């Protein structure tokens, strides 16, 4: 292990340079004009896996953006770790809010600034470099398989069928993912839960054409006004969601679990200051930590309609639209929630408009049990890497594929992420600390070492 750690410190600068090369490729999965860049990023990762020492490395074409697969089987009697990550990134917009171009990475104040620096190119790349270090120093203790996809940020639609069709190729003992955060650089944590999600788009139609807002205004429903009222009514004065039966399947946590999670270090004033808000807001009866992890939510992600260009136009538009997401917690089901939403949204629409609800994508919530070899190995690794025992922590974000690993491959996923909630993922000026990048590369080999040891007893 000492040899492996020395290899990492000797090749530090090259590791960073290589990551910057990957960050220069604008692999935005949501943007159809970027499909050549998706191919370019996939090919680069395949080459990297090969150079690092994988015996198999290939780009698998699926209906959507390709999946990169790699493996090194050193001994079939040893346990196998399946590493999952994603090379696709969120759109960089709004571009004018970036201090430097999103696909022209720069290092500033010990941080890498670029779209995907943290989510998830930087974090995924740590695994390739840790793998390289273990292979080159003869310290790889487990078999390894890599599955790096290109559609995570758009819901991983093509991944379900890929898992179904490649069960044998993907057979493993545990899935290891770095695509989440730690509490702070001096407070390591392991993510033990993810929220699920239901994402949909709604359309409200009033009159069959845009109208003069003076001639018709007041007499005909304005779909934007109606849509705003409808969205506003989806939560009440206590910020409870008003959709009937929405909370039916929510797993309520016991007092003990709640008080344990609220003991995690959290500075509310620093949180407000970071976000530039005078106060937080959320469901009555729950703390900020709880609101952002163990409770379901409903948010409007975008809303449009009517005239939005410069100046004024007096118009009563025919249509209004919104994108609405609901974060779900164990044991809520995204399909069931989509149905409840649709029924309710249609029911509350006044007769002066018609509504259309189109589901986009969804993902199941996930809980990682802490009494298994994978979690124990991650605990050991984080403690070795940071010199401090990690805390378990539930995350508010979603990784839709994680529940499918369990359902299709029967595998538990260990969420050993190294980002920070302040890394501005999905936002302008996304960044990833050099500390976090290197700490991840150093910590990952300890996971393999301990997972092999625990699997042997």
For 331, phi then psi, to 5°, come to: -105, 35
DSSP codes, 236-301: -TT--B-STTTTTT--PPPHHHHHHHTTS---HHHHHHHHT-S-----TT--HHHHTTTS-EEEEE
Q: Work out how close the CB of 248 gets to ligand BES at its nearest, in angstroms, rounded to a whole number.
A: 23
Residue span 16-55 as binding mask against ligand BES, x where in contact by CB under 6 A, dash where not: ----------------------------------------
Answer for which of 48, 120, 430, 449 binds Mn ion (CB under 5 A) is 120
**Residues 86, 374, 448, 377: is their CA dihedral positive or negative?**
positive
The helix-helix angle for 12-23 and 121-136 (nearest 10°) equals 140
Residue span 196-235 as binding mask against ligand BES, x where in contact by CB under 6 A, dash where not: -x--------------------------------------
416: tokens are 């050993």
445 binds, among Mn ion, ligand BES, none (CB under 5 to 8 A by kind): none
Measured from the CB atom, the residue of 123 and 287 that comes closer to Mn ion is 123
**How many residues form the binding site for Mn ion (CB under 5 A)?**
3
Give the bridge partners for 363, in sequence order: 197
Measured from the CB atom, the residue of 100 and 427 that comes closer to Mn ion is 427
Measured from the CB atom, the residue of 157 and 283 that comes closer to Mn ion is 157
| Binders of ligand BES in range 161-180 (CB under 6 A) | 179-180
DSSP codes, 209-222: S-EETTTTBTTB--
Answer for which of 179, 423, 442, 450 binds Mn ion (CB under 5 A) is 179
CB 196 within 8 A of CB 363: yes
Give the bridge partners for 342, in sequence order: none
| 392-426 per-residue burial string, b: 16 or more CB within 10 A, e: under 16 | bbbbbbbbbbbbbbbebbebbbbbbbbbbbebbbe
CB 45 within 8 A of CB 37: no
Nearest residue to the partner ligand BES, using Cβ: 397
For 328, phi then psi, to 5°, come to: -115, 155
Q: Work out how close the CB of 361 gets to ligand BES at its nearest, in angstroms, rounded to a whole number.
A: 6
Answer for which of 57, 143, 222, 398 binds ligand BES (CB under 6 A) is 398
Answer for which of 70, 296, 334, 363 binds ligand BES (CB under 6 A) is 363
Residue 153 touching ligand BES (CB under 6 A): yes
Tell me the C-alpha to C-alpha distance, in Å, between residue 65 and each of 95, 153, 167, 432: 24, 11, 20, 25
CB 174 within 8 A of CB 416: no
| Binders of ligand BES in range 90-119 (CB under 6 A) | 119
Measured from the CB atom, the residue of 18 and 179 that comes closer to ligand BES is 179
Measured from the CB atom, the residue of 71 and 119 that comes closer to ligand BES is 119
Q: Which stretch binds ligand BES (CB under 6 A): 9-17, 103-111, 305-313, 397-405?
A: 397-405
CB 32 within 8 A of CB 43: no
Q: Which stretch binds Mn ion (CB under 5 A): 120-128, 154-162, 230-238, 376-384?
A: 120-128
Binding region for ligand BES (CB under 6 A): 119-120, 152-153, 155, 179-181, 197, 361, 363, 395, 397-400
């Amino acid at each position: 292990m000492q040899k492996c750690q020395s290899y990492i410190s000797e090749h530090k600068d090259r590791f960073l340079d290589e990551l910057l090369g990957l960050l220069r490729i604008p692999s935005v999965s949501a943007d159809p004009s970027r499909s050549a860049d998706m191919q370019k990023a996939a090919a680069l990762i395949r080459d990297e896996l090969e150079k690092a020492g994988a015996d198999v490395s290939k780009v698998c074409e699926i209906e959507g953006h390709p999946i990169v697969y790699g493996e090194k089987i050193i001994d079939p009697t040893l346990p196998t770790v399946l590493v999952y990550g994603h090379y696709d990134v969120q759109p960089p917009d709004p571009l004018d809010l970036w201090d430097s171009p999103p696909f022209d990475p720069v290092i500033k104040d010990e941080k890498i600034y670029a779209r995907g620096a943290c989510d998830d190119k930087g974090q995924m790349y740590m695994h390739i470099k840790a793998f390289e270090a273990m292979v080159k120093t003869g310290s790889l203790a487990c078999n390894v398989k890599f599955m790096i996809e290109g559609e995570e940020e758009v819901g991983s639609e093509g991944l379900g069928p890929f898992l179904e069709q490649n069960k044998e190729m993907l057979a493993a003992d545990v899935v290891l993912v770095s695509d989440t955060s730690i509490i702070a650089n001096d407070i390591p944590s392991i993510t033990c839960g993810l929220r699920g999600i239901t994402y949909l788009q709604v359309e409200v139609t009033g009159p069959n054409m845009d109208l003069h807002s003076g001639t018709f205004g007041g007499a005909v429903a304005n779909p934007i006004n109606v849509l705003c009222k409808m969205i506003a009514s989806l939560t009440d004065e206590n910020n409870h969601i008003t959709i009937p039966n929405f909370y039916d399947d929510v797993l309520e946590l016991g007092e003990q679990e709640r008080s344990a999670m609220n003991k995690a270090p959290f500075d509310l004033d620093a949180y407000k200051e970071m976000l530039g808000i005078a106060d937080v807001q959320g469901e009555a009866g729950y703390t900020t930590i709880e609101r952002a992890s163990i409770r379901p939510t409903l948010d409007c992600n975008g809303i449009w309609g009517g005239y939005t260009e410069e100046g004024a136009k007096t118009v009563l538009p025919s249509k209004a639209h919104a994108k609405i997401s609901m974060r779900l917690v164990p044991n809520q089901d995204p399909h069931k929630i989509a149905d409840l939403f649709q029924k309710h949204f249609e029911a509350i629409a006044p007769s002066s408009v018609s509504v259309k609800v189109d589901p986009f994508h969804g993902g199941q919530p996930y809980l990682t049990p802490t009494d298994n070899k994978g979690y124990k190995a991650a605990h050991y690794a984080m403690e070795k890497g940071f010199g401090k025992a990690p805390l378990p922590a539930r995350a508010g974000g979603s990784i839709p594929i994680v529940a499918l690993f369990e359902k299709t491959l029967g595998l538990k996923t260990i969420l050993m992420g190294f980002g920070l909630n302040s890394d501005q993922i999905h936002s302008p000026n996304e960044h990833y600390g050099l500390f976090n990048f290197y700490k991840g590369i150093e910590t990952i080999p300890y996971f393999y070492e301990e997972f092999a040891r625990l699997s042997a007893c």
